[in-house]
Structure 1
């Protein structure tokens, strides 16, 4: 084998090892960041818990000591997750930064705060849907027929089953813009698959709401609007990308 080829292979192997080492270091940093805020959430878990049960006119029950541990770990994990979202996005951006042009770096860095803001917005929206629509609806269905015991485990499982999917789905606009920016997604493809996306969003809306048609429609409509907004934003990014490509070709 010629020496040039051997040297080229060695350089590729060194670059691969360097990338893997950098990726490992960034993953360690993310894990340490998550653990720090997990511990912080663990310290203030009582205050966080009081925030979630502030508007409840009843006290949640516990059927076993394990529920207490579950609440501590769940609340702490939620704090760690929310705090880690922007750091995770920043570390991903720093990892791919060398492969981006100066314009792409300036444009893509704006996605980091947007990811965090939309994640929080999704959590808030899901929380309001749960506390203002779903939970009151279920209580009205009871209408005094049963004496309901609300356990900590069941209540928060139900709450997070509603809020977490919304937090993730609210990231669709930013993700669609980023994927369009790097050439993986196009607005034409999003329009072509619109009916399938609607179907998935309706299924998600039905999964997080009680079996009531009105509630399912109320939840599905914002998700469908979110997808349409994603198409519009993807189109904006795509047109800018085409314009930049035309200017580059003319030079």
Structure 2
């Protein structure tokens, strides 16, 4: 009677994992494709919406331009693709979760689900904060300090790239509480150490805000202040999830 060797069992297990990974990737991409198809008819509306923080503050008679002959077409389609990924993010994260969940212990599953939901919510919150608060304040500040002899006619593609970078910067920065909780769970830091490092964290946050935001005081403060508040929220959350045996 033939028995499977450990090597053949490991090879079979690896192959099944690769097949499962491919299946999850295909499902995730299919979800993004479906959302993209649904958004393509609304590319003009999407771009008008994303341009509103700037268009509403431009001087009368001024609008955007497309320096590239195809820029007026490429920019809205590019936005639709990023919007599809943005909307389908929960579906993509679910596929990742479904792939790794069978290998997690019960306690890890209980912690992972709330953290995953928190990460998605915080990222969306960061993007919403950037759109409704940061971009209007930033463009108002920039346009008010622009001399009258300079016509503000931003390029459509350059504006989209700028806005996407701002969204990514604020969305990622709002993940700070989740990152702190993970560090505490891994045992790399303790809530007490996070408290003691408040001063260093504050300086680091302002330096980071100065690096990833445009060179103006308004956007730097609008990123640094929420990040510090989120740092404090991360300290509170880390106390709740810290294992009892680590006390």
Matched, 1:76 2:80: yes
The 1-side partners of 2:190 and 2:63 are apart by: 49
Q: Give the C-alpha shift of residue 188 in structure 1.
A: 5.1
Q: In 2 relative to 1, CA 155–130 (structure 1 residues): closer, same or farther, beyond 3 Å? A: farther
Contact 1:42–1:75, Cα closer than 8 Å, also in 2: no
Deviates more, 1:224-233 or 1:137-146: 224-233
Given candidates 25, 28, 33, the residue that maps to 1:27 is 25
Which runs of no fewer than 5 residues in structure 2 stay unpaired?
57-61
Which structure's relative contact order is higher, taking Cα pairs within 8 Å and 6+ residues apart? 2
User: For 1:51-200, what aligned pairs fall within 5 Å after superposition?
Assistant: 51-54=49-52, 56-57=55-56, 58-178=62-182, 180-181=184-185, 183=186, 185-187=188-190, 191=194, 198=202
* Secondary structure in 1 matching 2:94: helix
Q: Give the C-alpha shift of residue 178 in structure 1.
A: 4.6
Q: In 2 relative to 1, CA 210–106 (structure 1 residues): closer, same or farther, beyond 3 Å? A: closer
Aligned counterpart, 2:10: 12
Q: In 2 relative to 1, CA 141–49 (structure 1 residues): closer, same or farther, beyond 3 Å? A: same
Given candidates 37, 42, 45, the residue that maps to 2:43 is 45
Give the TM-score normalised by the residue count of structure 2. Answer: 0.81
Which runs of no fewer than 5 residues in structure 1 stay unpaired?
247-251
Contact 1:85–1:115, Cα closer than 8 Å, also in 2: no
Q: Give the C-alpha shift of residue 167 in structure 1.
A: 1.0
Q: Give the C-alpha shift of residue 152 in structure 1.
A: 1.0
Contact 1:34–1:81, Cα closer than 8 Å, also in 2: yes
Give the TM-score normalised by the residue count of structure 1. Answer: 0.80
Q: Give the C-alpha shift of residue 109 in structure 1.
A: 2.0
Aligned counterpart, 1:242: 244
Deviations 1:95-125 (A, max 9, x none): 2212223343233223333232212111011
